[in-house]
Structure formats: C-alpha cells, structure tokens
Structure 1
Amino acid sequence: MKDLALYIHIPFCERKCYYCDFTSFSGKDDQVSKYTDYLIKEISLYKEKISQEFSIKSIFIGGGTPSSIHEDYIKKILKYVYGNYPANNIEEITIEVNPGSLTLKKARKYKEMGINRISIGLQSLDNRLLKSIGRIHNSDDFYESYKILKDLGFKNISVDLMFGLPDQSLQDFHKTLEKIVLLDLTHISLYSLILEEGTLFYKWEEENKIKLPSEEEDREMYHSAVRFLNENGYKHYEISNFAKEDSKCVQNMAYWSVEPYLGIGINSHSNLDHKRFSNVSDFETYYKRLDMDRFPIHSSEHIPKEMEIAEYIILGLRLIQGIDKNKFKNRFNLDINHIYKEQILKNIKDGLLVQNENHIKLTSYGLDLANRVELDFFP
C-alpha cells in the first residue's frame, strides 16, 4: 500500500491576522459542530479508495486555528479516521495551535487522542510586533503554552516565526531567535512576510501606512537566521525549515517529495493518482455537495508526466539536500542530466545550482532566487 499524507482543514480563528489570506472564519459553536459533521462525511466518501490503496503515514490538522475550537470536535474527527482508515502505521499527527487559545485541558486531550506533534504559530516574541500584526497572544502566553506542552510530555514541538515585518529590525528578529534556541524545540519554520491582495497589510502598504524592511534587510534576516540556527543545532533541511535530528516534518516532506496527499475541508488541496484537485472555498457549496453525496471539489486536473517531473524537480529543489539523481531515475526511468541538461548547466553557470555525483541542489545564492530557477524547469 502507498503512504498517504492526510490534511484536515479547520477554517476557524478568533480573529484574522493583518497579513493572513488563508480561508478562515470566526466560528460559533453551532457552526463548528455542523462543519465537523460534514468534514466526517467528506472523509467517509474517500473510505473505500483510501482503505484499498493507501496507508496513512501522517495527519496534519491545520487552519485557521484548530486550537480555537473545542477539543471534542478534533477528537470526533480523529476517532472517525482511526476507526475507518488504515491508521496502524501513522508516524506523525500534527495540530496547529496558537498561544492565545491553547489550554491545559486542550493539550491534555490532544495527547490522549494520539497527537504527537504541536506546531505553534508564534511569529515573534516581541510584544510590540505581535500587536502590530494583529496577533491575539503575547510572549507570556507562548511561554505558558510551551510549559503546558513540556509538562504533558510532548517531545515534538515546532514554532513558526516571521521576518520582514513592518518596522522589524534585524536586531528585533535576532532577539526572538536567541530566546527560542534556549528552549527544547525540535523544529523551527521561518517565513518572510508576503503581502497578499485582500489583506489589511496589502491595503495599508498601498496607502503608505506601514513601512516594510528593504529586500536587502529581509535577505540579511534570513541568512543570519540560517547561520545562527545551524550553529545552535538546527539542521537547515528545506528553504524555510530547520529541525533537530530526526525531527523533519513528515507531512511536509510528503508534499516536497510529491507523494500522495489528501486534503479534507473547504479550500483544501489534494494530489492523488496523477490528479490535482481542490475543494470549494465556501460553506454553502461545501455542504450542498456533500448533502448530495458528491465530492466538494471545485477544480480538478490530470497531471501530465512532463508536469509531474517538473513539479518533482521544483519542489525537490526546496530541500537543502536537493534532488537525489538515483531516486529521480527510479521514479521516472529518466536521466535528469539528459532531459534537463541545458537548464542545469545554465543555472550552474549562473551560480544558482551545484551538482555532485548523487545530487543537484540550489547554492546559497540560489536559495534566494529559487523562484527564478523554477521557471527554467516548467514545461
């Protein structure tokens, strides 16, 4: 049976952050209850196919803010998955939490449910910056959440941090990093602020109400963080991700390796059997489709082999180790240096790629220009 990464989308938040363009809503209990029931119905529609062909390797409960809803809803969803899907070989179950909504009761229930990885949406330990980006928590809330998780015996804890924020300096960012590495965290994700249309930050930037760091300052924040985290025991394994030994995110490795994944819930995305598809993004249509026992799919497309190969390369180059030439050949029965000779040589000449006998990977310079390199491999 093939491994499957299962993503479950919980689209509820206490409040939308100023930079966020994810599908999320403020949910009352009756709304959450209804959505949970329909999530389970969607999961049930895939039961026969998944049970026959796949074994779940990882589950990621994301959002939104899953910790913003009552823990019994999470329990109900996982109980259905455990009872109806091949779940004996699950290595990792992650739930995203925010310090402002995680409680001892919720964390204890998560552990009882079999959740073994917690991803905390921290973003910063600077209270001034947290307030300026619309977060509902402060640094004390984070430390309290961290203590709760450690006291309960959670060993695999990750935090998300952001840089390139309005009025954030390199020194501000490093103060957070210096405090973070003092904790017993297994994983750290770093994300540069990207202004997405439709967000408050996008609007404010157009109106000159916020001042962002320059591109040079943003890159210096990133490169200094890479150096600092490497010096403090965190292996840089993907452009935005760092892990202690054996703590890479199993779910995300499935995405970057273009392994099968199934997304459940509104606006979730899937990649199964050479098909890519995404769900509708509104509750009304989602519920209507499921009431008719139909998959709530908004768009679907077959992935031609040449596109599948290109995506494998593009996503594989996000990994610091790069693309394993032998794995590529075994998967596609092709020699990567033969079919992409011109693209590889061009980017090596430009200082963006480097290769040895076994791997092709981005250089340090290439990490900053990954999007430019990707364009050369699109069919």
Structure 2
Amino acid sequence: MLSPKAVYIHIPFCATKCHYCDFTAYVVDGQPVDDYIDALEKEIEMTVKDAPPGKLDSIFIGGGTPTVLTPVQMEKLLRMIQSYFPNWSSTIEYTMEANPGTTSSELLSVMRAGGVNRLSFGAQTFEPHLLRDIGRSHGVSEIATSVKDARYAGFTNISLDLMFGLPNQTVEQVRDTLERAVALSVDHFSCYSLKVEEGTLFYHLEERGQLPLPTEDAEYAMYQLIRDYLLQQGYVQYEVSNFSKPGRSSKHNSTYWRNEAYYGFGAGAHGYVNHIRHANVKGITEYIGRIDNGERPILQQNKIDIQEQMENYFILGLRLLAGVSLKQFEQQYGLPADKVFKEAIETLVKKQFLIIEDDTLRLTEQGLLFGNDVFAQFLY
C-alpha cells in the first residue's frame, strides 16, 4: 500500500453558521472543544497504526473555522499533528482555513511555530450588505487587516475564497470585490458560485420564493469577469474554480483532483486510503462517543473498484485546466482510455468540449463552461 502524502483535519466549530453552509459545522459556544481535540488524537492514532504515514506533501486544517480555537487549543492540535506525522517534505504546503477577524497575533504566532505556512481566508465578498445577507461574521475591513497581520507574522502564501451568484449580487459588485481583493496581492483565489444546499437557511428561503438569485446569464457574466480580470492581473487559472500566481497552486486540493490518497480526520471528514473512501459521522457527541468506545468514527466506507477509479481519473482530473495524461491512464490501469471511454471521448471532442493534444486530454473554452455535462459523460 502506498502511504498517503496528504492529511485533512476537520475542525467543525464556527463563530456563527452561514446561511448557505451545509458543511459539518457548529457554533462553538458551549461545544466540548477540548474533548474533540482529544478524540481527534485517538482517531489519528488508530488510523496510522493500520495505515502508517510516509513523507507528507500537504496538510490542510479546514472547517468550520479552525481559527476559533484558542491559542492553547491550537498549539495542542499542531503539536499532536507533528507527533503522528513527523516526516514532512521540504516543500510541504501546510494550510489553515481562517475567517477574517479571528487571527490574533498570538494565534498566528502559534500557527507559524507549529509549521503552518499557508492561510486560506474565507473573504467571500467585499460588499458589506452581502456579507450580512449571507450570514458572515466578519466585516470588509477585517479582510485587509487579517491579510496584513498574517504577512507581518511571516506568512508568505495567502489565499482568499470568493463567492459569486449571491442573492441580489450584481456583476459590478463582483468587479468591485475583485479589484479590492487583488489590491491585497494575495497568492491564490478560490472562486465558487453559490450552490443552494438542502437543509440550509437559503434552501428554505428558496423554497418559499424568497431568495433573489442572479439569472443564469448574470452568473455566467460574473464567472467570465472573474476569469478575465484575474488573468489580466497575472493569475493563472489552473482549475475550474481556482486561480494562483505562478507556482502557488494548491498542492492539497490537487491531491483530490488527481484522485490520490489522503487521510481524513474529524467529524464529517472524508478520507481515501488504499482505494477505500470513508466518511465520518457528523455529530460531535457521536464522534467523541465512538472514539471513547475504541471505535473508528466511520459512518460509511466503500472500496473503489477499478471502473470507478477510471471514471474518477477523468471526472476529477479534467477539472485541472492542464488536463489529464492518456499515457498515464494506460500505465495506471493497463487499458487505453480511448477504448474504455471511447464513446464519451469521441462525443465530447466532436462537440468541441474536449481537445486532445499529444498525450493530453483537456477541456476547451466551451467545455470549461459546461464542465458538469462533460464530467457526467464518464459515468457508467
């Protein structure tokens, strides 16, 4: 078994719950945070005993909002990670998700000392009323302040998450957000369109006809504006929703898109080890309880057979604008891609959604705009 080179750790606590969020996240007040960190350590211990780690290329601590942890709690968490995963690549990418306004100088210092070298701030928008309307707890000024503080603390790799397609959002507001975001000279942007997920406040508002979303044409214009503007400002679009300065693409997320193995720890976390995908239980109490009983906190798991592995090679890999290697596919699975997915590839090339250049199959400009339709063609 090849040891995973990536680790994901989920901290399911937030200052507030956003109106669009369907992640495993709970308002931190009154939660057993210290017990949760203890349970995390036990889960990691149980897992690495069965699947020992090798040299890590990336660690990603997500949520939730990991930076709602106190400095003492954060130090304990990071020390524990170092203990169970001591062997790091010299170029490791160690990311901490953060909410603007939650990164005190003390917390930043603890993170730097613990090895964290990349911060990903959930900015979402630079429009004050939109921040309020989507339930974010930070203000616009806190975005710039948090980026400045992070740089002062020694962080040289900073990413911002931005959202578009928000209720009542206009194309001009997206332009304003882009201008203000780029002015911060961060290294990376993840730009996602709003997806209304079942069980969220936005879902219930939409059901009642009370969620004024932009039209499809407006959302298309927002996406094209994001792509064009960031390109003009020197950012490279390397994935459907992600843009970076040269050399600053996300190593950790590329693990997912390349369908490579990774550990997943924490309530609601997903992992992929030895061709087995698993999802953990979401409830904090159940998660802690299972671990206290000496059990892995797995809600479900399934072995990924060769057919699904081959499908995922294209469904995930084609999200990368560099495309996928047909030669590597054949080396990995012992079958030529143009035989396994003959109809899908021929159809999509004919529609000019995909193009084959030498050994590479990749999305065309048209295919990029209809990515979900493209990916669906590889499902059998």
Q: TM-score, normalised by structure 2?
A: 0.96
Q: Which residue identity lines up with residue 57 of structure 1 in the other structure?
A: D
Offset at 1:312?
1.1
Offset at 1:288?
2.3
Q: Any conservation in 1 of the 2:4–2:273 contact (CA below 8 Å)?
A: no
Q: Spell out, residue by residue over 1:57-116, the C-alpha distance to the aligned partner (whole angstroms, 9 max, x if none).
A: 211000000111213222212212212334232601100000132222211211111100
Partner SS for 2:26 = coil
> Quick check: 33-42 or 279-288, which moved more?
279-288
Q: Any conservation in 2 of the 1:316–1:322 contact (CA below 8 Å)?
A: yes
Q: Does 1:132 align with 2:136?
A: no
Q: Does 1:84 align with 2:102?
A: no
Q: Spell out, residue by residue over 1:219-260, the C-alpha distance to the aligned partner (whole angstroms, 9 max, x if none).
A: 110012111111111100000000111111111010110111
Partner SS for 2:272 = strand
Offset at 1:366?
1.2
Counterpart of 1:361? 362
Counterpart of 1:309? 310
Counterpart of 1:43? 44
Offset at 1:30?
6.1
Q: Spell out, residue by residue over 1:318-337, the C-alpha distance to the aligned partner (whole angstroms, 9 max, x if none).
A: 00111112222222222212
Q: Any conservation in 2 of the 1:50–1:85 contact (CA below 8 Å)?
A: no
Q: Which residue identity lines up with residue 206 of structure 1 in the other structure?
A: E
Offset at 1:26?
1.4
Counterpart of 1:149? 150
Counterpart of 2:342? 341
Partner SS for 1:58 = strand
Root mean square deviation of aligned Cα: 1.4
Counterpart of 2:258? 257
Counterpart of 1:60? 60
Unaligned runs of 5+ in 1: none
Q: Could you tell me how far apart the structure 1 residues matched to 2:356 and 2:279 are?
A: 35
Q: Which residue identity lines up with residue 262 of structure 2 in the other structure?
A: Y
Offset at 1:5?
1.1
Q: Could you tell me how far apart the structure 2 residues matched to 1:231 and 1:146 are?
A: 22
> Quick check: 283-292 or 266-275, which moved more?
283-292
Q: Any conservation in 2 of the 1:3–1:57 contact (CA below 8 Å)?
A: no
Q: Could you tell me how far apart the structure 1 residues matched to 2:295 and 2:242 are?
A: 37
> Quick check: 115-124 or 92-101, which moved more?
92-101
Offset at 1:55?
2.5
Q: Which residue identity lines up with residue 42 of structure 2 in the other structure?
A: K
Counterpart of 2:274? 273
Q: Could you tell me how far apart the structure 2 residues matched to 1:2 and 1:286 are?
A: 25
Counterpart of 1:114? 115
Unaligned runs of 5+ in 2: none
Offset at 1:29?
6.5
Counterpart of 1:160? 161
Counterpart of 1:184? 185
Counterpart of 1:201? 202
Q: Could you tell me how far apart the structure 2 residues matched to 1:217 and 1:299 are?
A: 39
Q: Which residue identity lines up with residue 232 of structure 2 in the other structure?
A: E
> Quick check: 20-29 or 171-180, which moved more?
20-29
Q: TM-score, normalised by structure 1?
A: 0.96
Offset at 1:3?
4.3
Counterpart of 1:323? 324
Partner SS for 1:121 = strand
Q: Could you tell me how far apart the structure 1 residues matched to 2:346 and 2:71 are?
A: 52
Q: Which residue identity lines up with residue 73 of structure 1 in the other structure?
A: Q
Q: Does 1:72 align with 2:76?
A: no
Q: Does 1:8 align with 2:9?
A: yes
Q: Could you tell me how far apart the structure 1 residues matched to 2:37 and 2:375 are?
A: 38
- Paired-residue identity, %: 37
Q: Which residue identity lines up with residue 343 of structure 1 in the other structure?
A: A
